[in-house]
Amino acid sequence: MSSEKRRGTRVKADFEAYVTVGDVVIPVSTRNLSLKGALLDGCEDCLMGTACELNIPLAPGLRIVVEGEVVRVGESGVGMVFKEMDDLSFATLHRLVQLNADDPEAIDEELGRFPGVDG
């Protein structure tokens, strides 16, 4: 699930979500998530460098909302890097990644290794 080229642990995550670009809301699904980004299906019209917001509803009243940027568009999906999120979204994302990781303790170690991954 993680790759030597990637900066953090990615976990498989199949959630229905929404990407907002300007005034346009696009239904997507997540393929995988990390503390730093996501791989998405369904955002074929998204262009590299586009600022967007990812909204992942998890349960009534519980959602992850992240400001980010499209950094990769290809046959394997759309890569989004996370730029900013509130504390609740970060705590929820952190726990979600940790619960689905092969090595949950590695997720906490990543918090110290990657500046800016602290919410």
| 108-112-7 Cα angle (round to 5) | 85
Q: What does the pLDDT read at residue 5? A: 44
Q: Give this prediction's pTM.
A: 0.83
**pLDDT confidence of residue 112:** 63
Cα gap 26→17, rounded to integer Å: 9
CB environment 89-104: b (16+ within 10 A), e (fewer)? bbebbbebbbebbeee
**How far, in Å, CA of 4 to CA of 2, rounded?**
7
Q: What is the pLDDT of residue 39?
A: 95
Of the options 2.40.10.220, 3.30.70.20, 2.120.10.80, 3.30.450.20, the CATH number for the domain spanning 11-103: 2.40.10.220
What does the pLDDT read at residue 96?
A: 92
pLDDT of residue 79: 95
Output the tens digit of pLDDT for each of the chain's 119 residues. 333 344 678 889 899 999 999 999 999 999 999 999 999 999 877 899 999 999 999 999 999 999 999 999 988 899 999 999 999 999 999 999 998 888 878 887 777 654 444 44
